[in-house]
Amino acid sequence: MKLEIRGLTKRFGDFVANDHIDLTIEPGEIHCLLGENGAGKSTLMNMLYGLLDPSEGEVLIDEVPRSFATPGDAIAAGIGMVHQHFMLVPVFTVAENVMLGDESVRGGVFLNRGQATERVRALSQQYGLKVDPEALVEHLPVGVQQRVEIIKALSHNAKVLILDEPTAVLTPQEIEELMQIMRELRDQGTSIIFITHKLREVKAVGDRISVIRRGRVVGTADPSTSEAELAEMMVGRSVKLVVDKEPSTRRDTVLQVEHLTVTDPRGHQVVKDIGFEVRAGEVLGVAGVQGNGQTELVKALIGLIRPDTGVISLDGNDISGHGPRRSLEAGVGYIPEDRSHDGNVGSFSVRENLILDLYRDDRFARGMALRLDDIATNAQERIEEFDIRTESDQTPVSALSGGNQQKVVVAREFSRPLKLLVASQPTRGVDVGSIEFIHRRIIAERDRGTAVVIVSTELDEIYALSDRIAVMYDGRIVGTVTPDIPREQIGLLMAGATDTGEERV
């Protein structure tokens, strides 16, 4: 199936999010879309999938103009989309989720589970999508849930599959598997529109690359183009993909963690007797496959979870179990891993989110009264400084593109003096230009004498920023190394090998 986009335009008020976009998706190709945060990639996809009405322009499928008022129309025309936030019912099995709303597996008023299970099995075999049709979705890891979404789209006979930043939440292993699945789908004739900010992935699976900047297609490239060139096409200037940094000048210990043990709400011990220290002017990178206790470690560090045992001392004062407010006031900055869940209030304006944890500060409040003028000025400054692309500072944050939402969180946490910065996936969903910027800011913060803890599943990011790397596996720190050790060795540690490599768990 050939999909042709002609002059597609989307306006939000005066703002043009997509400006006469022309794009052709050939049958059986993986077409990558690259573009800065807020360039309009998701907007374009939402129009293709019937979630937004185009202001102008048309979509042709096999030379026939089509219009989609609802996702139902788009699905019927053979377009499938995997949302970044999966739309699955957690307490249903895989097969039940796939047959939701699918009339063909109905036997009268009853649902024909057997047939649905068979369908899932057939699809998963055909495309090499390994998944157990009878498993409950809530028990599946993110990567497998994503596969279920893909199967769901395929079960509606999708000929064009839209994947909007599918790799942002996956582990490197899962990304590898996803790319394999994408190749398999392409070889069997499905076209894929693949959006990502990771240039390596584009080069690995892409057949063709289109670059969007400020709502316009500014060029196409093929996968042999170098990462630096691609980055330049996206951002319109040359981008340093690796931060320059001086060796750290380690000073006094700021954060000292001893014998920290944390139990999650289900009663599993997820952080097991961890101890480490971070000094002023030093970045400690915490590497590890998602789900090995990093989330809970970070939450304990900023006081969102009370640890079972252990001491978290900041400048010599134990702050464990004092709650986030005390940590904030003691000078801890925090960039949470899930910005829409923990970082921003979606319905609040950009302006309000920029002071979400600063509203009590004398700069922004006089007694109980908010200082509206100062809050507005602050917003203008942060928007300028961090290049947050938004219609205005009164726009609700939920209307911003994903990467720009992340910039709001980052801008806020960098707008006060910090002793310790805890950043979890600080550049998730952020474009290369902004990654460069955020990384530079983190290093500048370090050089100012802040102790920094970076938790990331991206080894690139860990290597780029860290002065020391602690690898977490199964709730423990299995090794602390310097960034000059080869990736393979860290990979081994992440898989559970201990320092010496002999004791596998």
Partner 1 sequence: MSSLRMTAGWWASAKVTLAAFAIALLIGAVLIAFSDEDVVETLPNLFTYPGDFFVAAADAIGSSYWAMLKGSLGSWHAIASTLERSAPLICAGLGVTFAFRAGLFNIGAQGQMTIAALIGGYVAFAWQLPAGLHLLCALVACLIGGALWGGVAGVLKAQAGAHEVITTIMLNYVAASVLLYALSKDAFQRPGSDNALSPQPLDTARFPSIGGVHLGVLLALLAAVLVWWVLDRSTLGFELRAVGANPNAARTAGMSTTVVYTVAMVIAGALAGLAAAMNVLGEGNALSPTLVGSIGFDAITVALLGRASPVGTVLAGLLFGAMSVGGVAMQASVGTPKELTAVIQALIVLFVAAPTFVKALMRFKDQGGGTTLLAKGWGA
Ligand X SMILES: Nc1ncnc2c1ncn2[C@@H]1O[C@H](COP(=O)(O)OP(=O)(O)OP(=O)(O)O)[C@@H](O)[C@H]1O
Tell me if 148 sits within 8 A of 123, measured CB to CB: no
Determine the Cα–Cα distance for residues 112 and 228; give it in Å rounded to an integer. 52
Report the candidate in 329, 188, 318 with the shortest Cα–Cα distance to residue 259. 318
Tell me if 401 sits within 8 A of 37, measured CB to CB: yes
- DSSP letter for 340, please: I
Residue 288 or 402 having the CB closest to Mg ion = 402
User: Which tokens belong to 85?
Assistant: 């936030």
Tell me if 73 sits within 8 A of 47, measured CB to CB: no
Residue 35 near which of Mg ion, partner 1, ligand X, none (CB within 5-8 Å, type-dependent): ligand X
Backbone angles phi, psi at 470, to 5 degrees: -105, 130
Minimum Å gap between C-beta 41 and Mg ion is 5
Minimum Å gap between C-beta 124 and ligand X is 29
What Å distances lie between residue 421 and 66, 188, 292, CA to CA? 50, 47, 21
**Closest residue to Mg ion using C-beta atoms:** 42
What Å distances lie between residue 447 and 240, 283, 316, 345, 440, CA to CA? 19, 10, 21, 31, 10
Residues touching Mg ion, count (CB under 5 A): 3
Residue window 376-415: x/- pattern of binding to partner 1, with contact defined by CB under 8 A: ---------------xxxxx--x-xxxx-xx---------
Residue 339 near which of ligand X, partner 1, Mg ion, none (CB within 5-8 Å, type-dependent): partner 1
Interacting positions 422-441 with partner 1 (CB under 8 A): 428-429
Residue window 297-326: x/- pattern of binding to partner 1, with contact defined by CB under 8 A: -----x-x------------------xxx-
Interacting positions 154-213 with partner 1 (CB under 8 A): 164-165, 168-169, 195
List 76, 100, 136, 370, residue binding partner 1 (CB under 8 A): 370
Report the candidate in 216, 256, 213, 225 with the shortest Cα–Cα distance to residue 420. 256
Residue 338 or 447 having the CB closest to Mg ion = 338
| Using rule CB under 5 A, residue 42 touches Mg ion | yes
What Å distances lie between residue 4 and 24, 62, 152, 325, CA to CA? 4, 8, 24, 52
Report the candidate in 193, 194, 190, 136 with the shortest Cα–Cα distance to residue 168. 194
CA quadruple 445, 447, 448, 454: dihedral sign? positive
Minimum Å gap between C-beta 393 and partner 1 is 7
Residue 389 near which of partner 1, ligand X, Mg ion, none (CB within 5-8 Å, type-dependent): ligand X
User: How many Cβ atoms are within 10 Å of 181's Cβ, its own excluded?
Assistant: 18
Minimum Å gap between C-beta 401 and Mg ion is 5
Minimum Å gap between C-beta 163 and partner 1 is 11
Q: How far is CA 37 from the centre of its chain?
A: 12
**Please, what is the angle between helix 227-235 and helix 432-447, to 10°?**
100
| Using rule CB under 8 A, residue 274 touches partner 1 | no
List 176, 227, 273, 342, residue binding partner 1 (CB under 8 A): 342
| Using rule CB under 8 A, residue 416 touches partner 1 | no
Residue 3 or 17 having the CB closest to ligand X = 17
Residues with Cβ < 8 Å from 168, sequence gap 6 or more?
84, 196, 197, 428, 429
Residue 128 or 396 having the CB closest to Mg ion = 396
Interacting positions 391-430 with Mg ion (CB under 5 A): 401-402
List 359, 384, 416, 447, residue binding partner 1 (CB under 8 A): 359
Minimum Å gap between C-beta 362 and ligand X is 32
Residue 237 near which of Mg ion, ligand X, partner 1, none (CB within 5-8 Å, type-dependent): none
What Å distances lie between residue 193 and 44, 166, 178, CA to CA? 11, 11, 14
Residues with Cβ < 8 Å from 478, sequence gap 6 or more?
471, 472, 493, 496, 497, 498, 499
Residue 276 or 348 having the CB closest to partner 1 = 348
Binding site for Mg ion (CB under 5 A): 42, 401-402
Binding site for partner 1 (CB under 8 A): 13-14, 41-42, 45-46, 49, 51-53, 81, 83-85, 164-165, 168-169, 195, 302, 304, 323-325, 327-329, 334, 336, 338-348, 352, 356-357, 359-360, 365, 368-370, 372, 391-395, 398, 400-403, 405-406, 428-429
